[in-house]
């Protein structure tokens, strides 16, 4: 379980196809406090630490996960948003995030709005119904508030802090973004199906 509050930006050191994809991610976490088997959300995808060093960790990524996320674009040098799993007593600053990506959204427009950047994304039709104005979404691991919704398109505003402390400062039109819809929206929709 995560909050969508990015706590580090990691860098992909290397990837290797071993049947599953193995990736090595460098980070600034104190790896002495990270156990093998721990979960770290990496660009919003909950991944298990399978090996570690002083300033890196390795993860294995199944073909299923690669097919549902943007992790196929991971190459050496790519920067990724990181968050360690929530511990009892931690501040819940974002919203409840599982690290289970629902699909890919695509950036279709970017516009400066004062010091912030307004980004318009389009969601897959199957997920668009779960995205609500002033609701929460997780994009590449960051918990964000939806400004506006127009069909499958939705807007997010990125303040300077978010652009500096996540990978969102390097976003560009055409980028495919890991999208996790709000868990509560998913359950509300499921309950409505049962009431129908």
pLDDT tens-digit profile of 34-78? 999 999 999 999 999 999 999 999 999 999 999 999 999 999 999
What is the C-alpha separation between 27 and 87, in angstroms, rounded? 19
Q: Which domains does the chain have, with CATH numbers?
A: 8-84 (2.40.30.20), 103-195 (2.40.30.20)
Of the candidates 153, 147, 146, the one whose C-alpha atom is nearest the C-alpha of residue 121 is 153
Of the candidates 147, 41, 169, the one whose C-alpha atom is nearest the C-alpha of residue 96 is 41
Total number of residues shown for the chain: 196
pTM score of the predicted model: 0.92
How sure is the predictor about 188, in pLDDT bands with cuts at 50, 70 and 90? confident
What is the C-alpha separation between 58 and 63, in angstroms, rounded? 16
Of the candidates 45, 64, 25, 84, the one whose C-alpha atom is nearest the C-alpha of residue 177 is 45
Residue 145 has pLDDT above 70, yes or no: yes
User: What is the rounded average pLDDT of the residues 28-39?
Assistant: 96
């Amino acid at each position: 379980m995560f909050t969508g509050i990015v706590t580090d930006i990691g860098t992909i050191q290397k990837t290797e196809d071993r049947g599953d994809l193995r990736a090595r991610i460098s980070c600034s976490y104190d790896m002495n406090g990270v156990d093998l088997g721990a979960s770290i959300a990496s660009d919003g995808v909950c991944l298990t630490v399978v090996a570690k060093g002083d300033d890196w960790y390795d993860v294995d990524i199944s073909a299923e996960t690669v097919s549902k996320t943007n992790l196929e674009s991971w190459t050496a040098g790519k920067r990724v948003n990181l968050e360690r799993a929530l511990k009892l007593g931690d501040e819940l600053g974002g919203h409840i995030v599982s690290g289970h990506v629902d699909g890919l959204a695509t950036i279709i427009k970017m516009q400066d709005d004062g010091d912030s950047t307004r980004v318009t994304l389009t969601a897959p039709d199957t997920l668009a119904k779960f995205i609500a104005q002033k609701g929460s979404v997780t994009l590449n691991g960051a918990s964000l508030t939806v400004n506006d919704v127009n069909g499958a398109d939705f807007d997010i505003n990125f303040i300077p802090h978010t652009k500096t402390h996540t990978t969102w400062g390097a976003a560009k039109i055409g980028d495919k973004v890991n999208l996790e819809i709000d868990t509560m929206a998913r359950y509300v929709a499921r309950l409505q199906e049962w009431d129908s």
